[in-house]
Structures are given as structure tokens and as C-alpha cells.
Structure 1
Amino acid sequence: MAGDKDKKLVLIDGHAILHRAYHALPPLTSRVGQVNAVYGFTSMLLKIISELKPSYIAVCLDRKEKTFRKEMFEAYQAQRPEVDKELISQVELTKEVISAFGIKIFSVAGFEADDVIGTLAKKAEGNGEIEEVIIVTGDRDILQLVSDKIKVYLLVKGISEATLLDKSGVEAKMGVLPHLIVDYKALVGDASDNYSGVSGIGPKTAVKLIREFGGFEEIYRNLDKLPPKTREILIKGKESGELSFRLAKIRTDVPLEVDFGDLKKWQVDSQKVLSVFEEFGFKSLAKRVKELGKTMVTENQMQLF
């Protein structure tokens, strides 16, 4: 476990990393089956621990059950291809790795991992023991959660490159501040999630409207100040925009209980970890984990002086 100096919580979007690892790495087979996604996830986990140096860690995962968004809008994510069986089979193996580290896994039926992350992040934001929350994901939807205390470690290329974004970083990347990303997506939609926003409003127009008037509701309260064509587009697309707003907004009220003290009870180079690595054939990762364990012991000892 890391030292308590930074009092930092890292929340990992498990499926986001698994998907990226699966598509970024060539097939890798061990005696337990296909493990390229497990290997990539585990490699990324070690990188996260080494670079971000968290005291608290949790992994959030999606579930198979229908989510409230799908109940609200049947076409939500309907265009996405079925997940490869070779990836599905690696989810349980990844859970074995996570559990071997002593890291807690959170998932709640009816909600996406984004909502679970949002709820944990907001709970942590109000926890005096935690000074900083970092969310690790490749999903830009999560950027709406960024605040003074919450940052996002956004994967930008496979699982090899990532950038740490605070509020100003999000604004530079998206054109709007984090708390206005939902309003932005209500206007432009999200092709990857299969909702359209307000048809006819593109990213540049959306940013311009938000900067001039504020959020989605404020824009609609100022229709009389807009050019006739833009006004007509907004009026026609209001219902779709309102639905898109509800779909885009990450929930922070998911019914779950968390004892943040439990999120500190993880270990890097335990015998459990090494045993799982041996079973999965992760020789190079076993070497990395031993080196990381030694480094963490040294760093923790230095914090005492």
C-alpha cells in the first residue's frame, strides 16, 4: 500500500481500460486462455500505481443488466457491435488480478460504471481524509466530473499514453468548463452512444452558444436573441436535446455504500499477486511488481523523516 502523504484516491474505469488493452495488444494465450486484455489492464494498473501514487484505489465495472439509460431510450448504444467473446472471457480473469491486489471492485445493477465512478468521486469530494480524486478512463463523458478536487487521467492512445486534466485542461480540450459538458452534449449529441442532441447544431456553434448564454436551459431562455435560423433549429430539436441531456448526465446518487478505509487495504507485491501472475504467465509483470514493491517501501520509509 502507498503511504498516506498525498491522501489520493484513484478510481479506475475497468471496462474502458480492458477494451483499449484488448484492441491495442496482439493476442496473448496462457494456460488459462486468452489474456491480452488482462495483461494490458494489469500493466496499466502498475503504471497508475507507480505514476499517480495513490493511497486509496477502487475499480468500477459495468454490468450485464439493462441500465436506466437503456430503459429511457431503447436506441441508446444500439449501434455498437457485440463485444468479442475473447474479451468477455477475460473480464473474470481481470477480476482475479484486481482481487489479488486487494483492490475493491464496485458495480451496481442498472447503472454504468460512469455513474458508480461519479457517485464514489462525489462521496470522496466530501471526505476530509481524501485530498484529491483522480479518475482513470478513456471516456470523455467522465470529464464532466472534474472539479477543484477531482481530475481525470485520460487515456489518449491505446493504453500507452495518458494526460492528466484539471478544470482548465478540460476547457482547453472541450471548449467548455467541466460543469457545462452535459449541456454541450445535449446540443451536439454523441454518436458513440447513439443520441443526436439538437440536429443541426455542431461543436463550434454549441461552444459559441454556451460561452454566450451559459447552459442548455439558459440558451433556450434566450432564443429571442438568436438569428432566426439558429432559433428555428433549437426549437425543432428541443425534445431531442432534453433527452440527450438526461442521457449524457452522469449520476452521482447511485445506491452504494463505501468505507474509504477499505480502499487503502491493497498491496502490490503480495504472494497472492505473484501466484496469479505465475498462473497467467505474466513473468515480465512479476518482475515489475517486485521492483515497484521495493520502490514503494523506500518511498514510505522516506516519508517518515
Structure 2
Amino acid sequence: MKKLIILDGNALIYRAFYALPPLKNKQGKLTNAVYGFTSILFRFIQELNPDYLIATFDLQGPTFRNLEYKEYKAKRVKAPQDLYDQIPMVKEVVKSLNIPIYEKQGFEADDVIGTIVQKTKNEQIKNIIITGDLDTLQLVDQKTEVYTPKKGVKDMFVYDQKSVKERFDLNPKQIIDLKGLQGDSSDNIPGVPNIGKKTAVGLLKQFGSLENLYKKLEASDLNPKLKSRLLEYKDLAFLSYNLATIKKNVPIDFNLKKCEWGGYKEKEVIKLLEELGFKSLIKRLGML
């Protein structure tokens, strides 16, 4: 089966920025996130030998989630400008390697990733999502895996259906239901107040999904206080579910053929890496 690597650009940049010391090029520009991102990219090209390669990025501005719930991500501390200043440099590296970039205003990179996974559903392709967080675990299936750093940017954890089940005691699709009940503080998704992970997992193991829970809630033998709370915050639970759901229908012009790995001009890549001061990566380029 052929392999498609999908890079979650912003998540990897964020991870690299905080994992590496503040490297600078000759012009005095910070390049630690660029170096970390490129190092991760080179590593996975070498280790996985992909047939196809794609990079996705978030765009500035509100998304449909902000329109549905204005408090979405409202408590997240804004990253320093030094991080944002490195995003264009990362995109330069990606473009120099002839890797197509997919992004869409009003949507997050996760939605673009979900759409690409959906569009390759009928292809004999294994999707490998490389990201810095766990939001895409809901996309894991027989043909889709998620790679995420354990610590820093060196060690990676591979999530397939089995490892998602081992960690959360749920299947990948139930991750959305879990966030509907428990919420997600990192994205300021509210969930049902006072419902923690243990209770949420227990409910999902008993009822299977958020929808089925509410279908059978009134006739269930659940604790009266818990039942009352679930009924009171039903709208919030389904709002949270919708906020947590990765969209799979983002209007992007996706062409798998154009995502074939290779075809870059080595001299141009070397020139860019020299400008960035990445001599060690120039050596690794020859091994891709």
C-alpha cells in the first residue's frame, strides 16, 4: 500500500519552537522552529519513504467554530511573534521541496487534513498524519495513523486503532463524543459541567455515543443527579460535539497526482538551507 504523509504545519511549528533553543541565522532572524520542522520532515521522509507528501496550515482569522461559539480558543495564550515570524520561512522550505500546501480560510488545518483523508478513502493509500497534538485521533482507522511527539521533536508516538483504545478505552470515533461530554480546556470547548474523563468514558462505554446516550437518557437507570445535569446541559454537549468534530468537506482543489513526493530542485533547496544556516540539514538532504 502506498503512503501519504500529511503534515500539520502549525502544530509542528509550535512544538519545534518550544522544544529547541533560540537558533538564529546570519541575519539575526530566529530559525529554531524552521529547523525543528525541517528536521522532523527529513526524518520521516527517510524513515517512511512516502509516495505522497502534503503540508497543511492554519490561516489567520476566525473559523466557523468561532462563529458557532465566540469563546472557542478564547483562553488560549497567544504565541509570541517570534513563532509567527517563522511560518513564512517554513512555507519557503516546504515549497522548495515541491510539497503542495493546502489551507483554507475559515477552517483549521485539522479540517483540511480530515478532508484529504476522506478524499483518499477509496484509494489504496495509508495516511500518516504527523502533528503536534491529539486533535486528529478521531480520524484514525484501518488506513490512517497519527504520529505525535512524546517529548520535544525527537521521539514520536504512533497512534493506530489499538493504541487509541489502549490510551482512552474508547475507539477513535468516540473521541468526539468524549469531548462533547468532557470538553477540551485547551480549545475552550465547554462540555457538560462537572463531567470528568472517568464519568464520560463510563457513559460512552455504556451507551456507545453521545447521540445514543441522549436517546436513552430519560429511560435509563443513571444516577438522578447525573441524569439531571446531562439533561440541563444537553445543548452544550452537542455544541461541544460539533466544535470537536473535524470537518471532511472543506472546499479544496485536491489532486493526489500533484502530491507525489520528489521532483524538487536540489540546488535551490541547498541554497535556501544555506541562507537559513542549516548545514547539518544539507547533509541529510542528500539522503532523502
CA distance in 2, matches of 1:263, 1:177: 30
Q: Secondary structure of the residue that 1:133 maps to in structure 2?
A: strand
CA distance in 2, matches of 1:268, 1:215: 46
**Residue in structure 2 matching 1:163, options 154, 157, 175:** 157
**Residue in structure 2 matching 1:80, options 48, 51, 76:** 76
Query: Could you tell me the TM-score, scaled by structure 2's length?
Result: 0.96
Q: Where do 5+ consecutive residues of structure 2 fail to align?
A: none
CA shift, 1:222, in A, is 2.0
1:267–1:286 Cα change, 3 Å: farther
Which letter maps to 2:14? H
CA distance in 1, matches of 2:34, 2:78: 19
**Residue in structure 2 matching 1:121, options 117, 124, 129:** 117
Deviates more, 1:226-235 or 1:102-111: 226-235
Is 1:194 matched with 2:188?
Answer: yes
Q: Where do 5+ consecutive residues of structure 1 fail to align?
A: 1-5, 294-305
The structure whose residues are more often helix, as a share, is: 1
Is 1:260 matched with 2:252?
Answer: no
Is 1:25 matched with 2:20?
Answer: yes
Query: Could you tell me the TM-score, scaled by structure 1's length?
Result: 0.91
Partner of 1:12: 7
- Which runs of 4 or more aligned residues in structure 1 lie more than 4 Å from their structure 2 counterparts after TM superposition? none
Is 1:210 matched with 2:204?
Answer: yes
**Residue in structure 2 matching 1:51, options 32, 47, 54:** 47
CA shift, 1:31, in A, is 2.7
The answer to whether the Cα contact below 8 Å between 2:50 and 2:261 also exists between their aligned partners in 1 is no
Count of residue pairs brought into register by the alignment: 285
Q: Secondary structure of the residue that 1:103 maps to in structure 2?
A: coil
Q: Indicate the RMSD between aligned Cα atoms, in angstroms.
A: 1.3
Which letter maps to 2:196? G
Q: Secondary structure of the residue that 1:15 maps to in structure 2?
A: helix
1:45-72 Cα shifts (integer Å, max 9, x gaps): 0111112221100000000021000111
Identity of aligned residues (%): 40
Which letter maps to 1:187? L
1:248-301 Cα shifts (integer Å, max 9, x gaps): 0000000011111111143577112111111111001111111x13xxxxxxxx
The 5-angstrom pairing of residues 248-287 of structure 1 reads: 248-267=244-263, 270-287=266-283
